[in-house]
C-alpha cells in the first residue's frame, strides 16, 4: 500500500469534488502535486479515470481551472487526474540557461538517461505506473483508464498509449507535439534527456511508434489552424502520414481560427470527454 497523499485544497464542483494533493514520489525523488476531480458518482462506487497531461510551463492547475471539463465529467461519471509536468523542488535541476521549454515544467513525459536529468526526470514511469497506482489505492476509482493531453502533454498521451497496449481504453490529444524527434522543442529536450543518438529518440516519438503498435486505439486529435506553433513544432501532417502508412485509425480535426490556448481546449473538450466516456463506460 502506498502512503496516503496529503490534501492541499478541496473545492465543490458540479456535485463532485476537485481536490489537490501532495505526495512523495519514489520514481522522481521529490514531492509531487496532482489534482483529481471526482464526479458525484464516486460517492456510490469506483469510477473510471481520464489522465490529463499538460503542456510546457503548466502545472495541474491549468487544465482544471481553464478547460471547463468538470461539468460534463460530472454528467458522464468520469474522474480526471492532472499531474504536474515535471519534477520540482530543491535539488531538481532546471534549464541551466533558465529557458521555459526545458527542465522545470518541461519533463516531456520521457525517462531521462543522461546526467544530471536521469535521477529525477522519469515522468513516463510516474504517469504510467506510480501515479495510477497511488490514485487507485486511495480514491474511489477503477482501473479503467484513458489518457489525453495538450501540446507536450499531447505527445505524452500518444506515447503512453502507444507503448502500453491494453493499459488505456482511449486516447486523444490537443495540438500534440506529434513528431518531437524532428522539431526544435523535441530536439532540444531529447538531446539533453536522452543523449545525442537520434535512434534512441524514436522510442519517444508517436510518429515512429505507430508503425509497430500492437494495439490500434483510435486517435482523436484536434489542431487549431491558427496555432502559432503549428508548422515548426507540432507537425500534424507527419502524424497523419504515419497513421495512413500503418493503417492506424486517426480522426485529425483541423479547426479554423483556433490557436494553441485553453480557449481552444475549452471549445472542444466536451467532444474529447465523450470520446473517452464511450470507451471507459462501454
Maximum distance among all Cα pairs of the chain, rounded to whole angstroms = 51
- φ, ψ (nearest 5 deg) of residue 73: -60, -35
Cα(191)–Cα(108) distance, rounded to whole angstroms? 12
**Is 272 one of the catalytic residues?**
no
Cα(230)–Cα(233) distance, rounded to whole angstroms? 6
Phi-psi domain of 279 (left: phi exceeds 0; alpha: psi -120 through 50; beta: other): alpha
Cα(82)–Cα(75) distance, rounded to whole angstroms? 19
DSSP string, 214-236: S--PPEEEEEETT-TTIIIII-H
For cell 509497430, the residue is 212
Strands (E) located in 66-109: 79-83
- φ, ψ (nearest 5 deg) of residue 64: -65, -30
Which of 260, 272, 275, 276 is an active site residue?
A: 260
**Is 95 one of the catalytic residues?**
no
Helices (H), the chain: 60-66, 70-76, 123-125, 131-138, 152-163, 184-194, 198-201, 206-209, 236-246, 262-281
- Residue 8: closest CA among 40, 41, 31: 31
Sequence length of the chain is 282
Q: Which three cell numbers stand for residue 223?
A: 489542431
**Is 151 one of the catalytic residues?**
yes
Which of 60, 84, 222, 227 is an active site residue?
A: 227
Which of 25, 86, 146, 151 is an active site residue?
A: 151
49: which strand partners? 79, 145
Active-site annotation, residues: 151, 227, 260
Amino acid at each position: 500500500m502506498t502512503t496516503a497523499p496529503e490534501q492541499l485544497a478541496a473545492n465543490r464542483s458540479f456535485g463532485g469534488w476537485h481536490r489537490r494533493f501532495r505526495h512523495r514520489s519514489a520514481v522522481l525523488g521529490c514531492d509531487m502535486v496532482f489534482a483529481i476531480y471526482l464526479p458525484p458518482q464516486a460517492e456510490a462506487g469506483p469510477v473510471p479515470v481520464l489522465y490529463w497531461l499538460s503542456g510546457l510551463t503548466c502545472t495541474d492547475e491549468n487544465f482544471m481551472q481553464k478547460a471547463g471539463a468538470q461539468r460534463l465529467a460530472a454528467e458522464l461519471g468520469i474522474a480526471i487526474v492532472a499531474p504536474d509536468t515535471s519534477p520540482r523542488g530543491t535539488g531538481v535541476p532546471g534549464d541551466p540557461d533558465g529557458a521555459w521549454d526545458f527542465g522545470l515544467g518541461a519533463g516531456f513525459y520521457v525517462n531521462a538517461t543522461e546526467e544530471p536529468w536521469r535521477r529525477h526526470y522519469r515522468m513516463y514511469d510516474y504517469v504510467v505506473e506510480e501515479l495510477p497506482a497511488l490514485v487507485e489505492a486511495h480514491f474511489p476509482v477503477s482501473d479503467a483508464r484513458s489518457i489525453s493531453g495538450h501540446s507536450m502533454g499531447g505527445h505524452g498521451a500518444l506515447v503512453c498509449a502507444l507503448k502500453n497496449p491494453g493499459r488505456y481504453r482511449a486516447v486523444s490529444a490537443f495540438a500534440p507535439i506529434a513528431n518531437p524527434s524532428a522539431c526544435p522543442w523535441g530536439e532540444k529536450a531529447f538531446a539533453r534527456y536522452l543523449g545525442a543518438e537520434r535512434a534512441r529518440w524514436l522510442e519517444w516519438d508517436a510518429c515512429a511508434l505507430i508503425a509497430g503498435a500492437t494495439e490500434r486505439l483510435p486517435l482523436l486529435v484536434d489542431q487549431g489552424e491558427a496555432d502559432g506553433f503549428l508548422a515548426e513544432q507540432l507537425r500534424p501532417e507527419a502524424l497523419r502520414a504515419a497513421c495512413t502508412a500503418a493503417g492506424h485509425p486517426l480522426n485529425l480535426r483541423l479547426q479554423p481560427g483556433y490557436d494553441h490556448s485553453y480557449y481552444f481546449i475549452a471549445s472542444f473538450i466536451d467532444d474529447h470527454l465523450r470520446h473517452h466516456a464511450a470507451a471507459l463506460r462501454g
